[in-house]
Amino acid sequence: MNPRAIILNAYVYAVLIFILLPILVILPMAFSETTYLTFPPEGMTLRWFEDFFGNSRWMAATWFSVKIAALTAITTAVIGTMATYALVRGAKAMGTLFQAFLIGPIVVPHIALAVALYLFFQNTGLSGTVFGYVAAHSIIAMPFTVFTVAAALSSVDPALEDAAMSCGANRFNAFRLVTLPIILPNVISGALFAFIISFDEPVIAFFLAGIRDKTLPRMMFDDIEQNLTPIIPAIAVMLTLLSIVVLLAAGLLKYVANRNAARVEQS
């Protein structure tokens, strides 16, 4: 390896360590016997996990977040797939503008987007509602679904759909019976990314939360302001495990998608 490659690898590993170090510090705190945050932890206990699952307020926030995240995943999977199909197969003249519109939520800071959505939802009565949460979370999760689906759809030969339509199928049935089975792993992968983005989103949830229904990240912020007990690191442990599971599932789906694409090329 040349010196430039060594320096680049060292820089990459330094960044990874910088990102992972706070996680490695916070995780042991979830098992501390003390009622306050301390590092290194004093003793080992599962009390804070038991307190989380035994608290009705935490459970209500968790299931509310699961419901919002599941609806967001379904919404982005359906709308994102249709938008991606229009972007890849549609008119090329408007493709750049359409793409900029889809990736806009990545460029705009979440705090600015949250304030704008808050003002809009306050005037329309959507603030604190399930529909408002799903709409807001779908906006920020849509680009990730679009990029994931576009990676698969761009590798599918349009001639396959043309062959299906030449045999009597209409455009929708050609997509449903030919293209969708090929890109389905990527669609599911995009939905998983949308689920975890929605489930772990704190900024927009802070502005849209109502008095009764609050998401898990918003409840965590409330607990930090009032108590700051090791139950917060305990939740962080479970959220980390959830993220790892989603990433492993997305990797498995990517492997399946690559195998499907290879089979299509061979045939």
How confident is the model over 102-127, as pLDDT tens digits?
A: 777 777 777 888 888 888 887 877 77
What does the pLDDT read at residue 92? Answer: 63
Burial of 44 (0-12, 13-18, 19+ CB in 10 A): exposed
Q: What CATH code is assigned to 56-266?
A: 1.10.3720.10
- Between the alpha carbon of residue 150 and those of residues 44, 154, 185, 249, the distances in Å are 47, 6, 12, 19
- Between the alpha carbon of residue 100 and those of residues 94, 97, 144, 181, the distances in Å are 10, 5, 13, 28
Token pair, residue 11, equals: 């820089």
Secondary structure percentages of the chain, helix, strand, coil, to 5: 80, 0, 20
Token pair, residue 150, equals: 């576009």
What sign for the dihedral angle of Cα 46, 47, 52, 53?
positive
What does the pLDDT read at residue 46? Answer: 79
What does the pLDDT read at residue 62? Answer: 86
Low-confidence ranges of the chain (pLDDT < 70): 1, 91-96, 210-211, 257-258, 260-267
Is-contact 236 186, C-beta < 8 A? no
- Per-domain residue ranges of the chain: 56-266
